């Protein structure tokens, strides 16, 4: 067991509460220790909600916690049965539906629990509608889609949802339902009426989409419309699905090529920007990208395919880990030109004096902007291009900071981010010599010198070691 003071995903109950509080007229009851009820404050703060979060905490007695883990492990075997009995009894006294969140809160994280809870709720209400004869299987008259996985408090979820609705409405695709955010449970019986489902984030909503495809034959689109190329591919997949039904339902086929061309030329500035001299200045730079599959994969594709930036993780090195210190030490070792990741990557970049941008949760409240900043769709391409471009030190910025005494000046980073012992030390004279080197090449010289020292079992880097390393590389 390892004590974690930073996690890339919260505990399971946060995921369950995210789904429950996103639906309308749903109240969640959580049996947990005092302190685990921070979700209420977190949600109202991040989403700036004016209403109280519909979550009640039944606090676990301190005497129960004091009995230790042994009894909890034994009791956990029968706990689910006890909770199900409670749900059954509560259902008999209440006019509302009472559902037990069927997730193991000791083995899965926030995103896994959210995905499972959403699938459980969708399955429950569709099965109920089928038993009671209220299930409507007829497709809508015009092409329509369900958007699955938009929840609170998700990273840019509200902005992404608005942009996704605009992206669909202009080609004539109506929205059947958006779940769970803002939807009533009683309306879930109409989910099968949509022509297809959209899962914008792979981490949440995929289980529900797979269930709907298996049980009701509803196709789903997994391509996330982040970037020019992915958005065009996303719309092409919509066109393919719509044309499967179009001849029999709307008696015509659709072609969205002109729409994609106009959006690419006149709404998104990213295509033009990628060909500009400003973006050409980024060519050849290196970046480190991390976090969830949806955002990390999309940002990597933008950097490599649309901006010509080399990405550590796609071209050179890939790391799969939940240990942020390992990622931090890797970033310190490769010294990229910019970092794109979570709030922790912002901290790492600040300590290493590397430009950084936040592209995924976990994040701080400052990454829940008041203004409209989607990541999806054509407007999202503009926002991401701005984020990437403004994250780098550009042109002669490093040189000018040295000349005019900017925030960069002469400080040299010689630290590691992990708690492991660093066996290489820089002497005072060597540090002074390193500070004389221009900032745009200082990092590479420092890195090469340390590699030379490790290869030759040198524990203290002096000026002589620096010159020896230089001669070695020149030979």
Which has the closest alpha carbon to 352: 373, 374, 334, 326? 334
Element spanning 286, H or E: strand 286-289
Q: Are strands 356-358 and 338-341 parallel, antiparallel or unpaired?
A: parallel
Alpha helix ranges (H) inside 34-156: 39-46, 62-66, 69-93, 110-132
Which has the closest alpha carbon to 391: 300, 301, 280, 282? 282
Cβ 13 vs Cβ 32: under 8 Å: yes
Helix axes 157-169, 377-391, angle to 10 degrees: 140
DSSP 8-state secondary structure symbol assigned to residue 90: H
Q: What percentage of the chain's residues is helix, strand, coil (to nearest 5)? A: 50, 10, 35
Angle among Cα 155, 303, 226 to the nearest 5 degrees reads 40
User: SS3 of 32, please?
Assistant: strand
Report the sign of the C-alpha dihedral through residues 142, 268, 235, 359, in that order. negative
Q: Token pair for residue 474? A: 């020149």
Among 88, 278, 316, 429, the one annotated catalytic: 278
Dist. CA 64–CA 72, nearest whole Å: 9
Q: Tell me, yes or no, if 278 is annotated catalytic.
A: yes
DSSP 8-state secondary structure symbol assigned to residue 367: G
Residue 184 dihedral angles phi and psi, to the nearest 5°: -85, 140
Active-site positions? Answer: 278
């Amino acid at each position: 067991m390892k004590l974690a003071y930073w996690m890339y995903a919260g505990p399971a109950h946060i995921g369950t509460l995210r789904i429950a509080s996103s639906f309308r007229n749903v109240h969640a009851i959580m049996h947990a220790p005092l302190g685990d009820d921070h979700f209420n404050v977190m949600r109202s703060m991040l989403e700036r909600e004016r209403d109280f979060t519909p979550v009640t905490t039944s606090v676990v007695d301190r005497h129960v916690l004091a009995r230790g883990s042994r009894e909890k492990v034994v009791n956990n075997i029968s706990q689910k049965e006890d909770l199900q009995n409670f749900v059954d009894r509560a259902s008999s006294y209440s006019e509302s539906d009472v559902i037990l969140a069927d997730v193991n809160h000791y083995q899965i994280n926030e995103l896994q629990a959210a995905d499972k809870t959403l699938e459980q709720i969708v399955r429950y209400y569709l099965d109920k509608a089928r038993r009671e004869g209220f299930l409507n299987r007829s497709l809508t008259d015009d092409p329509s889609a369900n958007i699955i996985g938009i929840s609170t408090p998700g990273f840019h979820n509200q902005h992404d949802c608005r942009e996704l609705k605009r992206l669909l409405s202009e080609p004539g695709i109506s929205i059947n339902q958006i779940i769970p955010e803002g939807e009533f449970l009683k309306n879930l019986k109409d989910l099968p009426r949509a022509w297809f489902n959209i899962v914008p984030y792979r981490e949440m909503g995929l289980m529900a989409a797979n269930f709907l495809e298996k049980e009701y034959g509803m196709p789903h689109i997994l391509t996330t419309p982040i970037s020019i190329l992915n958005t065009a591919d996303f719309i092409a997949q919509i066109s393919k699905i719509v044309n499967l039904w179009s001849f029999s339902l709307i008696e015509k086929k659709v072609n969205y090529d002109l729409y994609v061309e106009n959006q690419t030329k006149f709404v998104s500035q990213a295509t033009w920007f990628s060909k500009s001299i400003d973006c050409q200045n980024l060519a050849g730079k290196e970046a480190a990208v991390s976090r969830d599959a949806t955002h990390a994969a999309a940002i990597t594709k933008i950097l490599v395919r649309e901006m010509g930036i080399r990405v550590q993780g796609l071209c050179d090195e890939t790391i799969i880990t939940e240990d942020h210190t390992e990622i931090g030490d890797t970033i310190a070792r490769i010294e990229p030109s910019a970092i794109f990741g979570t709030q922790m990557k912002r901290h790492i970049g600040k300590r290493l004096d590397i430009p950084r941008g936040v592209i995924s949760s976990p994040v701080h409240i400052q990454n829940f902007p008041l203004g409209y900043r989607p990541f999806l769709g054509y407007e999202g391409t503009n926002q991401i291009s701005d984020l990437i471009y403004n994250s780098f030190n550009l042109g002669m910025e490093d040189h000018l900071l040295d000349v005019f005494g900017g925030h960069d000046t002469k400080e040299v980073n010689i630290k590691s981010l992990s708690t492991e012992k660093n066996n290489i030390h820089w002497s005072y004279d060597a540090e002074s010599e390193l500070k004389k080197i221009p900032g745009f090449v200082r990092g590479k010289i420092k890195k090469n010198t340390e590699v030379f020292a490790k290869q030759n079992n040198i524990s203290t880097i002096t000026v002589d070691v620096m010159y020896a390393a230089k001669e070695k590389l020149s030979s």
